[in-house]
Amino acid sequence: MELVAAKLKFIEAWGKLGSEWGINRTMAQVHALLLISPEALTTEEIMDALSISRGNANMTLRDLIGWGLIEKQHKAGERKEYFFADKDVWNIARQVAKERKKRELEPVLKVLNELSTVVGDEKDPEYKTFKKSVNDINKLAVNVDKTLETMLKAEESWFWGSILKVFK
């Protein structure tokens, strides 16, 4: 396959995966584009490469900065802004894990904790089933949370080394 075709395929695949996991497809595509760009790109270049509007590019880049995945750069003597992506895949994974944990896992964990405190008649099957499901989900969520917490602080080789050694 040609490099140009391969790049397009990568951008498309990354966009598809993103949208399947609740991430705006364009945001994932812009991220993909920057991940395979050796140099920082301007808004103009991104608009052209992905055929998107200035407004869309601007908002998407702002979001990516908010996710901690890219940064603005300035070149001496130039007015326009350049965008550059961190290429360290372990950093990226940790950053995404950190944000999704904060934005989506923690709020639901808060609700689950609150729901765990609801009291009722232990003889009531409705109550018993509710309580069991909520508590069990809560326990799982806490384990996931702990694992993510560890991952966020971990060195890549140590993390996978530990996990895969145990699992063998």
Interface residue list for a copy of itself (CB under 8 A): 1-3, 6-7, 9-10, 13-14, 16-17, 19-22, 35-39, 87, 89-90, 93, 103-104, 108, 111-112, 114-115, 117-118, 120, 124-130, 132-134, 136-137, 139-140, 143, 146-147, 150, 160, 162-164, 166-167
Distance CA 24, CA 40 (A): 22
**Residue 52 or 93: which CB sits closer to a copy of itself?**
93
Q: Which does 17 bind (CB under 5 to 8 A by kind): a copy of itself, DNA, none?
A: a copy of itself
Give the span between the Cα atoms of 50 and 109, in whole angstroms: 37
Query: Which backbone phi and psi does 68 adopt, to 5 degrees?
Result: 70, 25
Binder of residue 84, out of DNA, a copy of itself, none (CB less than 5 to 8 A by kind): none
**Radius of gyration for the alpha carbons in the chain, expressed in angstroms and rounded:** 21
Token reading at 156: 């890549």
CA distance 105 to 132: 20
Neighbours of 55 (CB within 10 A): 9
Q: Is 102 helix (H, G, I), strand (E, B) or coil?
A: helix
Q: Return the one option of a copy of itself, DNA, none that residue 146 interacts with (CB less than 5 to 8 A, by type).
A: a copy of itself
Binding mask 26-55 for DNA (x = CB under 7 A): x---------------xxx------xxxxx
Q: What are phi and psi of 105, to 5 degrees?
A: -75, -50
Binding residue for DNA, selected from 7, 36, 58, 112, defined by CB under 7 A: 58
Determine the Cα–Cα distance for residues 168 and 163; give it in Å rounded to an integer.
Answer: 8
- Whichever of 22 and 77 has its CB closer to a copy of itself, that residue is 22
Contact footprint for DNA (CB under 7 A): 19, 24-26, 42-44, 51-56, 58-62, 78-81
